[in-house]
Structure 1
Amino acid sequence: MFYEDLSNYCYYLKTPVATVRNVGWLEKDKPYATGEVLDGFLTKLFSIILGNDIVDAQVNRIRSAHPCSLSDCGTLGIEADGRKDSLGAAEIWIPSKDGSDFFAAPSMIYHYVEKHGYLPPKEFVDAVMAFDLAKPYKAQDIYLEEIKGHF
């Protein structure tokens, strides 16, 4: 499913959510920005996707995984310290750097950056780098609040 970067979130909703912006919803044959991300960005994004005891940035989990839509990469996952997760099986929601709104991205964004050279918008990169993995955060609660009235 393709959404233009920084467009308002509307995944299966009747009306867009102005406080949530799309990032990394890429599809084959649709152009996307490429380039180098900041040092440490992929490591931080990896940690956000996996989460920890107090951080869960994932929403809309599904029982299967959406494959890479850019090429035939097969089923993909990430793993660290005995914890693993499938890429393409959820979205991640990350608060903006100033906390005024949110970014919604497929968890597959990690693969798109790492293997396909996708360069997310600066605002998203800044939000990822500013994300505090030591502060309680439950994205599903935020998701449920933000989508109210958009069905």
Structure 2
Amino acid sequence: MTTTNDLAALETERNRIRAEYLSPADRRPASSARGLHHTALLSSDVLSTVRFYQDILEFPLTELIENRDYPGSSHFFFDIGNGNLLAFFDFPGLDLGPYAEVLGGLHHVAISVDPERWQHLVDKLKQNGIDHVVHSEVSVYFKDPDGARLELIADPLGEMYGHRVL
């Protein structure tokens, strides 16, 4: 259990890191990156993953190829807008076990959607019996068929709950 002293120490450390590393937006250097090319997740079943991401979340499948690193494995991609992709690998024959949140692993993927599309997608989650939790009326959290946690957020890219983060 985290004590009051622990919480104070954590806040002190956050403040120290902010002071040392966080520059105001007008003085922040440009990033060396152009954007997120893709995030790669694992899929236990290609068809159920395609049906979930394309049919329910409405992210179009853009490519389905053999994984060059593992014969018989698929590498497939979904368009999540703005030139970004969500990718998957399946590894038939390997016992990867169930999804687990572990240190260094995936906590969740947050994907920005237009506010008018957000409610439509929340309704589709309900219609398809997918457990979900709405937070702050702009975020919905749920899990994909393999247990990976996802968030659809109606805030624009670079904002979170009305606060600029970029």
Aligning the two structures, in what range does the TM-score lie when normalised by the shorter sequence?
A: under 0.3
* TM-score scaled by length of structure 1: 0.25
Higher relative contact order (CA 8 A, sep 6+): 1
- Which is richer in strand? 2
Question: Rg larger in 1 or in 2?
Answer: 2
* TM-score scaled by length of structure 2: 0.24
